[in-house]
Amino acid sequence: MELHDLTVRELRQRLAAKEVSSAEVTEHVLRRIEQLDPHVGAYLTVTADQALAAAKAADEARARGEAVHPLAGVPGGLKDNIVTEGVRTTAGSRVLENWTPPYDATVVRRLKDAGVPVLGKTNMDEFAMGSSTETSAFKKTRNPWDAGRAPGGSSGGSAAAVAAGMGYWALGSDTGGSIRQPAAFCGVVGMKPTYGLVSRFGLIAMASSLDQIGPFTRDVADAAELLNVIAGHDPKDSTSAPGRAPDFTAALKAEAKGLRIGLPKEYFTEGISAEVQAAVRQAAAELERAGATVEEVSLPHAEYALGAYYMIVSAESSSNLGRYDGVRYGRREAGADVPAMMTATRALLGSEVKRRIVLGTFVRGKERLPEYYMRAARVRTLLRRDFEQAFEKVDVLLTPVTPTTAFPLGRRVRSQMEAYAADICTVAVNLAGLPALSMPCGVGADGLPIGLQFIGPAFGDAQVLQAAYTYEQLAWPEGAGRAWRAGKEVDVDGH
């Protein structure tokens, strides 16, 4: 087994036993990035010097016999909308093309304090607006399973990096499925935590009431390990949940008996491919055979989630992106006067970002606010109540992540309505602020991964991890993230 094939847990065990050094591991992964990333396009910026320095510091601390964090020396990547001190942070946009932040996001500071080397910043849809990582202003990311397919979005670079062995973990952000959908397409594990569990301080905002940072890993146990590092109250974030976060690794018990699983009937309808539905139902059947109980439940207002989501996300995006005017920070284009300068600067934004700004500005208009935004907010409340009622009967919900396997590059760019409809299985979770995890549950007829989504009640992140871990041990005893080996490790221009 190659070094880059190891899971986070396997690697940290080898580091603790001094079978391999963090510097050796980091150098190996950096060489792999140099070899593969010209074809995959997962990274926008590689921070080799900083990563090696952190790796060597972890090695020296171990050599001195100091107590170090379990993940010290385990390298990974960050989505490029997570602010990193002294490192170019672009959010995939020309507007921030050369912006170097003077501070770290809270999640970055916690990773650095744990001695975790950061390999670089991963590619993403511009300002997290997209579902294929094709709206990035800099390049497209390709799916490591098939070079002609999208890795998903907006965190496609993070998912592709983990799937291709160019990092043992990565962080992404999820506003309407931007962690879970790429995880499904790339055959890895991706978790969107409960809103407020992980600090958003230093996350470049898209829609502030929906955005949440979470991990990509190769298996469920690794997701719990990363969540242990980044979760917890942060006084710098006014939406951060109070109190200490639990030890999520303590929840990792493969026990199906007593687990109550709900299958929301609204997620198994026309529009979701037959093979995706069958794979999810097969996963439920495996858990049931192992002792879980499975029943059909209903989320009556789920059909309105997509429309409500696009009203809310566009309105909040329009408000948040008003700050990119060329005055305060970021790129400034020349103009004859201030309005001309602002117009020229905002012309740098891509078509998808402009589309959502226009829609959001329309929705926020005084005359239209009650008709669109306020109505969407009421739907959001109804959805939250639907979930609460469902969780009175079951512990977790089991659903598809995406209607299909990974789609061809270019397809969603040509059809915006089809692109938006691809979020149908994920957006309700963000509207309700719930935790959800995507993991592989099989391979489609096209040889591409199919994703399975576990949804839990608010702050039931440990429940989600436990249920997912139980399924992982039944279906992928070597780890869910090893499922990607069932396909093609990297199939990009013959590499």
Per-residue pLDDT at 485: 46
Per-residue pLDDT at 492: 47
Per-residue pLDDT at 481: 52
Per-residue pLDDT at 1: 76
Per-residue pLDDT at 417: 59
Q: Does the pLDDT value for residue 130 go beyond 90?
A: yes
Q: Does the pLDDT value for residue 23 go beyond 50?
A: yes
Per-residue pLDDT at 411: 77
Phi and psi, residue 90, nearest 5°: -110, -20
Q: Does the pLDDT value for residue 480 go beyond 80?
A: no
Q: Does the pLDDT value for residue 490 go beyond 60?
A: no
Per-residue pLDDT at 484: 45
For 214, 219, 227, 479, the CA distances from 8, given in Å and listed in that order, are: 16, 9, 13, 11
Q: Where are the domains of the chain?
A: 3-265+387-418+435-486, 303-379
Residues belonging to the active site:
79, 154, 178
Q: Does the pLDDT value for residue 479 go beyond 90?
A: no
> Out of 156-165, 271-280, 326-335, which region has the weakest mean confidence (pLDDT)?
326-335
Please give, one letter per residue, the 3-state secondary structure of the chain.
Answer: CCHHHCCHHHHHHHHHCCCCCHHHHHHHHHHHHHHHHHHHCCEEEECHHHHHHHHHHHHHHHHCCCCCCCCCCCCEEEECCECCCCCCCCCCCHHHCCCCCCCCCHHHHHHHHCCCCEEEEECCCHHHCCCCCCCCCCCCCCECCECCECCCCCCHHHHHHHHCCCCCCEEEECCCCCCHHHHHHHCCEEEECCCCCECCCCECCCCCCCCCEEEEECCHHHHHHHHHHHECCCCCCCCCCCCCCCCHHHHCCCCCCCCEEEEEHHHCCCCCCHHHHHHHHHHHHHHHHCCCEEEEECCCCHHHHHHHHHHHHHHHHHHHHHHCCCCCCCCCCCCCCHHHHHHHHHCCCCHHHHHHHHHHHHHCCCCCCHHHHHHHHHHHHHHHHHHHHHCCCCCEEEEECCCCCCCECCHHHHCHHHHHHCCCCCHHHHHHCCCEEEEEEEECCCCCEEEEEEECCCCCHHHHHHHHHHHHHHHCCCCHHHHHHHCCCCCCCCC
pLDDT tens digits for range 431-466? 999 999 999 999 999 999 999 999 999 999 999 999
Band (pLDDT 50/70/90 cuts) for residue 24 is very high
Q: What is the average pLDDT score of the chain?
A: 94
Higher pLDDT, 481 or 131: 131
pLDDT tens digits for range 162-182? 999 999 999 999 999 999 999
157: which 2 tokens? 């670079």
Triad 305, 407, 268: Cα angle to 5°: 40
Band (pLDDT 50/70/90 cuts) for residue 335 is very high
Higher pLDDT, 478 or 169: 169
Pick the CATH number of 3-265+387-418+435-486 from 3.40.190.10, 3.40.50.720, 3.90.1300.10, 2.40.10.120: 3.90.1300.10
Q: Does the pLDDT value for residue 486 go beyond 70?
A: no
Band (pLDDT 50/70/90 cuts) for residue 366 is confident
